[in-house]
Chains A and B, each alone.
Chain A
């Protein structure tokens, strides 16, 4: 059945009228202004936990997110949601993110969880460390459970950080490297929410260098990320 579905395109997702209404309301929201100054906008910093690192096979288990509003992390504007799983991820994986079998089964039904995420997000720009992974996991889940093609603006701290701190490129690669460099703690590594908070703190810590280079709005942050991505891709220079 699955391979057929894949062959003939996604089947129409069955949403309840309420769910369909919530999705339509989100879709109707105006897009965020990408030229809004950093100190005035709202950014959502996100991190996901999944059943594994294979974006094709593994499933989204949890989303953690925290908003940076007017240049400050708003502790009251966060999201920490576990998606209900029909199949609990294997033990080795549970050991990494710490979301046990019961918690996985007790999670929020995926469609509702994802709608909650969208409503929390609004149309505000997304930030993450290694967007490719987070974006793929979220997009796949949105496609599967809401039938939504998720084309949302992202920027990636995994590229912005080395672009701003060229002198640290050889020392800092992972999120841990960068947060350690800035002395940023993490109250529970591999919890989506804690990692999102650490990523948000990293974003604030990049602030002075960004100001120095007049990177003062989301568009410029995204440009910085994309330029760095091109420059460091294996095809660069060819």
Chain B
């Protein structure tokens, strides 16, 4: 018998679009294809099930979707916990360990699978190191590949943008927004406002630029003279704008701007408008270093320079993403710099406030800041813990600290950390407390918890000292570690709460809940890990607040296998990385930062790892559910 070469070649071409087949030697792949059968499963048909005995077939999805479902006993409406797509293969675990599959695999839609007999699968494992590696280290491998893809993308974008010697054609980001010269000013201003753009260019029918108008001109030319908004654009614009050809270099544009005091230069090619370069575009070309930045923050003498530094932190985060820094390092770097920034703000405020200088206090970072997991859109969560000197009462100290805290909260807001909607801030009298008062508050939450207490626990129990008397925070942490394991009812309630938030089952249209066909990476991806690890650490009296640290600390008492612990950590970090990239892209586009991602916009590799990461989240939740009998 023979496999026609054209068929092998076509199958090979198809499979090499997917991992691990893209890493395997062609001869090994051809060997596999020649031994494969092609099977068909109508929607709902069972492909493999636990009661069919030891797994005998290795499946690769040619087209369609396969759902994995947990055993029938616990199967409920959300029994699906795994969703596999074109190019993915299963079951690996069962084949590797020669056992029955754990789940029932069913066709989610009409599906074709390549099928390889178990013996051939094992032979392939021996033959192909790439295949072996994939089957035994699956998540780690996918992550590694994803990182390489990201690096490749960003390296490209930074090397293009880095230097002031780049041609303007490489700096231009978007098509310029244009209007006709006779457009009324009202319409122009509305468009600028809607699109959030800083300038408008008038062009004639041949796209020749006639004039420019920028936000900077609004005050002098529109507002102060009380301009009639029906006035045509041509009467208000700066006519005959300065233009440069696309091959001109970035620094030439910088020179033109410096010489004429412009903020924008038009890029024109053979008489037609090609784009627009702003001062901001050029500024972002200059790279910011970590050391330089932390030095700047430490030496900052006023809020203005700290506001600049905060913007630079965001720019630095982008550059680091480009260099392929891991999510763990990156979130810690962001947190460290934000810590420095906050510390400097507190120092500056202390200098101006002699009364506050007299108080022994500790500034507490809460929530994601407390966990050292800040991304680019974190609002403030903070509190103050102070000591009460003999002869004074807590209320009197609070009187001193509240206005001081208020100024710090406002300064942080100016640096781009929005004020907390829920008023979880040091300037709120409820969260500016003495050690005894904090213990009392925590005690009430643990032993007489109401729903609000459960919510607060998820923010406050992740506290970390950020400035000042650390020993006060340590004392509070020791107390909490001793008290929290004592009330199992409280832990149970926290588990119930945590399990209300389920990661999406899959990321195909049918399964995505949430508005506008999006997945909330924070709520659905990060929170399940953060919540579950917090509960376990509280239960075992562990003191870590960082989620990865918590996973490492809880592995021992929970008897987690090293592999499981690693898989949870990897999954968590991957979702963080996706979040950071999402925020970064939103920054670049000038959009508001959200955690919502459209699964259709993810590349195949990312979408696959994300599904795997959600699977890990569900696995951890299943464990939590069992341990706390939810």
Enumerate chain A interface residues (CB-CB to B < 8 A). Answer: 64, 66, 69, 71-80, 182-185, 187-188, 191, 193-194, 197, 200-201, 204-205, 207-208
- Within the complex, which residue of A72, A73, A194, A204 is in contact with B6, where a contact is CB–CB below 8 Å? A194
B1 within 8 A of A: yes
- Within the complex, which residue of A183, A187, A197, A207 is in contact with B63, where a contact is CB–CB below 8 Å? A183
Q: What residue of chain A has the Cβ atom nearest to residue B114's Cβ?
A: A75
Q: Mark B109-132, 1 if CB is under 8 A from A, else 0.
A: 010101100000000000000000
Nearest chain B CB to A41's CB is how many angstroms away?
15
* B42 contacts across to A, CB distance below 8 A: 205, 207-208
Interface hub of A69, A75, A182, A201 (most chain B Cβ within 10 A): A75
B7 touches A80 (CB 8 A): yes
B1 touches A76 (CB 8 A): yes
Q: Mark B31-68, 1 if CB is under 8 A from A, else 0.
A: 00111111110100100000000000000000110000
A78 touches B7 (CB 8 A): yes
Overall SS of chain B's interface: mixed
Nearest chain B CB to A64's CB is how many angstroms away?
8
* B10 contacts across to A, CB distance below 8 A: 187-188, 194
Nearest chain A CB to B452's CB is how many angstroms away?
51
A72 touches B38 (CB 8 A): yes
B14 within 8 A of A: yes
* CA A75 to CA B1, docked complex, whole Å: 10
- 28 A-B Cβ contacts within 8 A? A66-B7, A71-B39, A73-B38, A74-B37, A75-B3, A75-B11, A75-B34, A75-B36, A75-B38, A76-B2, A76-B34, A76-B35, A77-B1, A79-B2, A80-B5, A182-B110, A183-B110, A184-B63, A184-B112, A187-B10, A187-B14, A188-B6, A193-B6, A194-B6, A201-B40, A205-B40, A205-B42, A207-B40
B11 touches A191 (CB 8 A): no
Overall SS of chain A's interface: mixed
Nearest chain B CB to A37's CB is how many angstroms away?
16
B4 within 8 A of A: yes
B39 touches A204 (CB 8 A): yes
* CA A184 to CA B115, docked complex, whole Å: 17
Instruction: Report how many A-B pairs have Cβ atoms within 8 Å.
Output: 77
Nearest chain B CB to A186's CB is how many angstroms away?
10
* B115 contacts across to A, CB distance below 8 A: 72
Q: How many residues of B sit at the interface, in one of the four size bands?
A: 20 to 34
Nearest chain B CB to A165's CB is how many angstroms away?
13
- Knowing A182-B110, A185-B63 touch, does A75 contact B7 (C-beta < 8 A)? yes
Interface hub of B11, B34, B37 (most chain A Cβ within 10 A): B37
- Knowing A183-B63, A183-B110, A187-B14 touch, does A79 contact B4 (C-beta < 8 A)? yes
B3 touches A78 (CB 8 A): yes
Kindly list 20 other residue pairs between chains A and B, CB separation below 8 angstroms, not including A80-B6, A205-B42.
Answer: A66-B7, A72-B37, A72-B115, A73-B37, A74-B38, A75-B3, A75-B11, A75-B36, A75-B37, A76-B2, A79-B4, A183-B63, A184-B63, A188-B6, A188-B10, A194-B10, A197-B7, A201-B40, A204-B39, A207-B40
